[in-house]
């Protein structure tokens, strides 16, 4: 179970991966054994946590959680025992399929309608390479890194270059500050 945990000094929250455990206690109050359920951290699957967080922030609407349905169906029907590497592989294949759809179109200059999964998957690949401390965040907008209508420059980019993946980034507005996600040319958050 993927969830966001907040501590007293952490207002951003951190993604955590939990598993349900059940213990049985003998209670004098009851004539039979009583189950007690609790959650514990899954510590052997950092990649799975990152992939689930990536997919969760990519597909924010309850109507597009197809990745969760596909993953849960796989766990139920096809998973035979627990293997953190298999979990990660399955989640990565789900993400790759969505990115592959974008790549197969061959049109990388679609501007603001570039799917969020493309940016988030690149973030995942960068994290996988560096293993730096990084958290996936909800971002609600694709924006141009180099402005569409520059004020202080004589340089005007071609429409294709302006709307190319390399000039786009994911952003969100947070009350007083602009929060940048992936900015393809500079990778500011690393």
pLDDT confidence of residue 184: 44
Predicted TM-score (pTM) of this structure: 0.74
Q: Which of 131, 31, 45, 142 is nearest to 87 (CA)?
A: 45
Residue 10, classified by CB atoms within 10 Å of its CB into exposed (0-12), middle (13-18) or buried (19+), is: exposed
Which tokens in the block code for residue 170? Answer: 């994911």
pLDDT confidence of residue 190: 30
Question: How crowded is the C-beta side of 101, counted as CA atoms within 13 Å?
Answer: 10
- Collect all residues with Cβ–Cβ distance below 8 Å to 186 and sequence separation of at least 6: 145
Higher-confidence position of 34 and 129:
129
Higher-confidence position of 172 and 167:
167
Question: What is the three-class DSSP state of 168?
Answer: strand
Average pLDDT over residues 104-129: 89
């Amino acid at each position: 179970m993927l969830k966001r945990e907040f501590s007293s000094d952490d207002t951003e929250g951190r993604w955590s991966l939990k598993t349900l455990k059940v213990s049985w206690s003998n209670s004098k109050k009851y004539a039979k054994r009583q189950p007690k359920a609790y959650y514990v951290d899954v510590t052997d699957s950092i990649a799975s946590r990152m992939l689930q967080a990536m997919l969760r922030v990519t597909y924010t609407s309850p109507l597009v959680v197809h990745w969760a349905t596909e993953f849960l169906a796989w766990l139920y029907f096809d998973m035979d025992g627990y293997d953190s590497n298999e979990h990660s592989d399955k989640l990565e294949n789900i993400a790759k399929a969505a990115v592959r759809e974008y790549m197969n179109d061959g049109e990388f200059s679609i501007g603001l309608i570039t799917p969020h999964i493309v940016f988030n998957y690149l973030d995942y690949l960068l994290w996988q390479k560096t293993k730096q401390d990084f958290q996936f965040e909800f971002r609600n907008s694709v924006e141009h890194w180099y402005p569409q209508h520059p004020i202080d420059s004589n340089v005007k980019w071609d429409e294709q270059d302006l709307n190319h993946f390399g000039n786009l980034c994911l952003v969100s507005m947070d009350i007083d500050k602009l929060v940048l996600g992936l900015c393809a040319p500079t990778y500011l958050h690393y």
